[in-house]
Structure 1
Amino acid sequence: MSSIFEGFLSTSEVLEAFNERNFIQAMLRFEASLARAQARAGLIPESAAQSIIGTCKVDLFDVAKIVRESGRAGSIAIPLVKSLRDTVALFNAEAARFVHFGSTSQDVIDTAMALVTREALALIEADLNKAVGALLELAERHAATPMLARTLMQPASVTSFGLKCAGWAAPLVRSQQRLRSAAGNALSVQLGGAVGTLAQMNGKGREVTALMASELGLKAPSSVWHTQRDEWVALGCELALLVGSLGKIGKDIALMGQYEVGELAEPAEPGRGGSSAMPHKRNPVACMVALAAAQRAPQRVASLLASMPQEHERALGNWQAELAEWPGLLMSAHGSARAMAQALPGLEVNTQRMRANLDALRAALPQDAADEWFNPELAQHAAQLTLAQVKSLRELKAPHQEP
C-alpha cells in the first residue's frame, strides 16, 4: 500500500489499517457476520454458521498467497473465499457449501473497505480535534496580537494573528461536521449478491442486511450500491476538501516562517526539519506533508469521480480503479491531519517580529496612508472578530467534543 517515497507522508496507523492482513481480517469479519445473520434468519444451519464463524480468523490463512492469487483471479475475494471454504471443509464438510452463501465478491470487498475506512476516519477525527483545539487556543491567546495582513502576496493592512488562527480553524470545524454526515451516509454494508437482487436469500435479504449492519456498526442501505457510488465518492470529496484546508494552513505557516519574514516557526525538536547540508536550516516538515497531501488529493478524487460511470449492475474496471485510489486518499488525509496536530500545539509565534514587520511598512508609507491602514483600532476590531468567531466555533464543536 505504500512506497518509500510516500510512507513518511502518511502515518503508521493508517498504513496499518490498509495493510493486507488488516483488510483480509475485515473481509473475514464480513463472512462471519454474513453466516451469523443468515443462521438467525433461518437461511443456513446454525452448526454451519458456527463452523464458518470459528474459521474466520486471519491467522488461519496464508495472506501473501491470497494476495498473489488475486491477480489471476481478478479479485482478492475469490482466493480468500476459496481458502475459507477449503478450511471450513477440513472441520465440517457440510458447512463448506454455506460459505459466502448468496453473496458476491464486491459485497465482501466494499463492506471491508467501509470497515477499514471507519478506522482511518477515527484517526483523522482524533488528530483534527487536536489541530482545531490548538488553533482555537492560539486564536484566543493572540486575539489582539497585531500583524500584517497580506493580499496578493503583498503587505496590506493590520489584522491580528488570532483572527488568522480562527480563519484557519473554521474550515476544519466545518469539515468535521460534513465528514461525520458523509460517513454516516457512506459507511454501509454492501450485500446484493451477483446482480443486486439477493435472489438466493428467499426474500430475507433485507433482514440479513439489517442484522449485519447492526453487528458491524455500519448503515443498512436502502438499496444495493454496487454501481451507485455517489455517497461513497461524496465522502472522498469531503476528505479532499479537508486536505485542501489543511494545506492552506501549511502554506501560510511556511510563508510566515521564511527567514526574511520570521513570524512563525514549527516546534523545534531533535531530528525534526534538519538539513543534510546546512546546519542552520530548519525545514517546515509539517507544512511539507500538508502541502504534499494537498497536491495529491485532487488527483485521487478526480479518479473517484471519473470511475462513477460504471457498467450496468456490476462494473468492469471502473470499480477496481476506484478501489485502488481510496487508500491513498485516506493516507494523505491522515498524514496531513497528523502533521498539523503535531505542529500547531507547539507553534512558535514571534510577536516581536510581527510588530517589526508591521512598523517597517508603516514607516515607509505616507502619513495619511499609515494613519488609515495602520490605526491601532484595527487590531482591536480584529480582536473582537476573533473572539466572536472562536465562540461560534466552540459552540459548533461542542456536541461532538470528547467527554
Structure 2
Amino acid sequence: MACNMLDSSLYRNSFSTPIMREIFDDRAIIQNILDIEAALAKTQGKMGDIPVEAADEIVKKAKVENLNVPRIEEGIIRVGHSLVPILKEFQGVCDKNYGEYVHMGATTQDIIDTAFMMSIKRGCEVIYKNMLETEQLMMDMAKKYRDTIMAGRSHTQQALPITFGFKVAVWVSEHRRNIERLEQCMVRCFAGEMGGAVGTMAGFGKDGLMVSDRTIEELDLIVPDISWHTSRDRIAEICTTLTIIAYSYGKMGNELAKLQMTEIAEVAEGFVKGSVGSSTMPHKRNPNSLEALQMLARLVKGDTESAIESMFCEHERDGALWKIEWKAVPEVVILVGTSSAKAKNVFANLTVNAAKMRENLDIQRGLMQSEGIMLALGKKIGKQTAHSSVYQICMDTFEQHADFCEMLLKNDIVAKNMTREEIQKILDPEDYTGHAGEIVDRVLAATANARTKYNK
C-alpha cells in the first residue's frame, strides 16, 4: 500500500500523473543508473581503460529487468548505502566476471546526480510540451474573445470595462515568459556529473576529462566545466523556475474560480457528466481543477524551499543537505507536471458565458463609467474640479442605489456642461475598452513569433 499522495491509488491523480510517476519510478531511476554505468563502460572500453569485451557485456546487461529489485532494497537497508547494492546486483548479472569493471573511477554522487537529472530533464520536457499546448489553447481563447466585453476589476471591485480576450492575453504574455524561463533552464541546467570522489576526475587517469565528457555526452546531457557536487544552483534554478510556472497556473486557477462563483458566473471549468460536487448538496458543480492548480502551487513552493537548502552544501561533498533533493526535487517536477496537465485541460474545456459578462456590466447602473464622465467634464471645467464633482455624485449614487445618468443630470455643474446624449454615450461600456483589442493582437503576434525561436 502507498503512504504518499503521489502514489496513493485513491488520490494520486490529484497530485501526479501516470507519465510523471513513470519517469520517477524506482525502476526508471535504476534504469537511469544502469544507463550511466553503461555509458561510462562504453567510453572506457573505446579508450582502452577497460577491456572492450567487458564494456560490451556491461552495456548488454544494463537492463533493469535483469536485476532483482526487491533484493536491492534489502541490500540498501542492510548496508546503508544508496548505490552499492545496485552495483553489486548489476555486477552479478554480468558474465565472465566482467562486472568487476563496472563503476571504474566514478563516485556515488556522480551516478545519483546524473540519474536524477535524467529524470528531471524528461519531466521538464513533458511540462514544456504541456505548456506549448496550453499556450496555443490560450492564444485561441484570447483571439476568440478579443472583443467580448466584461467588467475589469481592481481590489475585487468593478473598475472599468475590458474584454475577456484582454484578460486572457495578460495570461498568455506571462505564460510565454514562463516558457522562455524553462527553455533557458533546458539549455543551461540539465548537466551530467562524472567527477570522481572530489570532482578532480583523478580516478579516471590521464584521460579523465575525456572520459567524463564523452560519458555525459553519451547520455545527452550538458557537459559541465567543473564538478557540481556541492554547487546546487542548477537544481535550485530548475525548482524556482518550476515554482514560478506553478504559481502562474495557480493564479489563473484562483481568478477563474472567482469568476465561476454563483454570483458572478462568467466562466466555468468543463463539467464531466456524472461528476459529484458534494456528498450532501446534489446541486454543486465545484471548480475542482481550478482549486487543484492553487493547491499544487503551494505544495511546489514548500518543496522548493526545502530543495534550495542544498545550496549550503559544504566542501567537496555533503550528504546531509544533498539528500534533501532526493525527496524534494522529484516532487517539484511531478507536482508541476500535474499542474501543467490540469492547466491544459482547464483551457481546453473552459466555458465562457459572454451574456453574463455583459449583464454584470450593468450591476452598478452606470457607475463603472465614472472615469469617462470625469474626463469629458474635465475638458470643460478642469480635471481636478471635475473629479471632485463626479466623486460626490458617485458616492450619492452608490448610497442611494440610484441611476448614475439621472444623478449626473441633477447636478448643476454637469447639466450646464453636458447633454443627456453625451452622458448616455459615455455610459455605454461597449465604447470604453480602450485599445484592448489592439493589445490582444500585439500579444498574440509577439507570442506567435516567439514560439518559432527555440526550435531554430
Query: Would you call these one fold, judging by a TM-score over 0.5?
Result: yes
Is there any run of 5+ residues in structure 1 with no aligned partner, and where?
Answer: none
Q: Which residue pairs with 2:96 in the alignment?
A: 92
Q: Deviations over 1:280-328 (max 9, x none)?
A: 2112122122111111111111111122111211112100011210111
Aligned residue for 2:159, secondary structure, equals strand
Instruction: Assess, with a 3 A threshold, how the Cα gap between structure 1 residues 325 and 68 changes in structure 2: closer, same or farther.
Output: farther
Aligned residue for 1:147, secondary structure, equals strand
Match of 2:128 among 125, 129, 141: 125
Q: Which residue pairs with 1:304 in the alignment?
A: 307
Structure ranking higher on relative contact order (CA contacts 8 Å, 6+ apart): 1
Q: Does 1:338 align with 2:341?
A: yes
Answer whether contact 1:239 1:333 (CA < 8 A) is retained. Answer: yes
For 1:48 and 1:285, the matched residues in 2 are separated by 55
Report the alpha carbon displacement of residue 371 of structure 1 after superposing the two structures with TM: 7.2
Q: Does 1:359 align with 2:362?
A: yes
Is there any run of 5+ residues in structure 2 with no aligned partner, and where?
Answer: 368-396, 398-403, 409-422
Query: In structure 1, what residue type is equivalent to 2:96?
Result: N
Query: In structure 1, what residue type is equivalent to 2:297?
Result: A
Q: Which residue pairs with 1:32 in the alignment?
A: 38
1:2-401 matched pairs, under 5 angstroms? 2-4=6-8, 5-88=11-94, 91-93=95-97, 95-272=98-275, 274-363=277-366, 366-367=404-405, 375-379=429-433, 381-400=435-454
Query: In structure 1, what residue type is equivalent to 2:172?
Result: A
Greater shift, 344-353 or 3-12, is seen at 3-12
Query: In structure 1, what residue type is equivalent to 2:67?
Result: F
Report the alpha carbon displacement of residue 401 of structure 1 after superposing the two structures with TM: 6.9
Greater shift, 257-266 or 285-294, is seen at 285-294
For 1:285 and 1:126, the matched residues in 2 are separated by 23
Instruction: Assess, with a 3 A threshold, how the Cα gap between structure 1 residues 377 and 46 changes in structure 2: closer, same or farther.
Output: same
Instruction: Assess, with a 3 A threshold, how the Cα gap between structure 1 residues 291 and 101 changes in structure 2: closer, same or farther.
Output: same
Answer whether contact 1:272 1:285 (CA < 8 A) is retained. Answer: no
RMSD of equivalent CA atoms: 2.0
Query: In structure 1, what residue type is equivalent to 2:85?
Result: P
Q: Deviations over 1:28-48 (max 9, x none)?
A: 110110100111122111011
Q: Deviations over 1:142-171 (max 9, x none)?
A: 111111111111211111100111111222
Answer whether contact 2:183 2:454 (CA < 8 A) is retained. Answer: no
Instruction: Assess, with a 3 A threshold, how the Cα gap between structure 1 residues 278 and 399 changes in structure 2: closer, same or farther.
Output: same
For 1:334 and 1:164, the matched residues in 2 are separated by 25
For 1:83 and 1:41, the matched residues in 2 are separated by 26
Answer whether contact 2:276 2:282 (CA < 8 A) is retained. Answer: no
Instruction: Assess, with a 3 A threshold, how the Cα gap between structure 1 residues 251 and 214 changes in structure 2: closer, same or farther.
Output: same
Greater shift, 336-345 or 203-212, is seen at 203-212
Aligned residue for 2:453, secondary structure, equals helix
Answer whether contact 1:144 1:380 (CA < 8 A) is retained. Answer: no
Query: In structure 2, what residue type is equivalent to 1:352?
Result: A
For 1:193 and 1:164, the matched residues in 2 are separated by 52
Answer whether contact 2:361 2:429 (CA < 8 A) is retained. Answer: no
How many percent identity over aligned positions? 29
For 1:179 and 1:73, the matched residues in 2 are separated by 39
Answer whether contact 1:247 1:291 (CA < 8 A) is retained. Answer: yes
Query: In structure 2, what residue type is equivalent to 1:28?
Result: L
For 1:316 and 1:124, the matched residues in 2 are separated by 29
Query: In structure 2, what residue type is equivalent to 1:196?
Result: G
Answer whether contact 2:128 2:182 (CA < 8 A) is retained. Answer: no
For 1:395 and 1:272, the matched residues in 2 are separated by 40
Which TM-score applies when normalising by structure 1? 0.94
For 1:335 and 1:101, the matched residues in 2 are separated by 38
Instruction: Assess, with a 3 A threshold, how the Cα gap between structure 1 residues 75 and 257 changes in structure 2: closer, same or farther.
Output: farther
Which TM-score applies when normalising by structure 2? 0.83
For 1:99 and 1:234, the matched residues in 2 are separated by 32
Instruction: Assess, with a 3 A threshold, how the Cα gap between structure 1 residues 329 and 232 changes in structure 2: closer, same or farther.
Output: same
Q: Deviations over 1:95-119 (max 9, x none)?
A: 2221110011111111111111121
Aligned residue for 1:221, secondary structure, equals coil
Q: Deviations over 1:170-223 (max 9, x none)?
A: 222111111111122221111111111111211212211221222211111101
Report the alpha carbon displacement of residue 74 of structure 1 after superposing the two structures with TM: 4.0
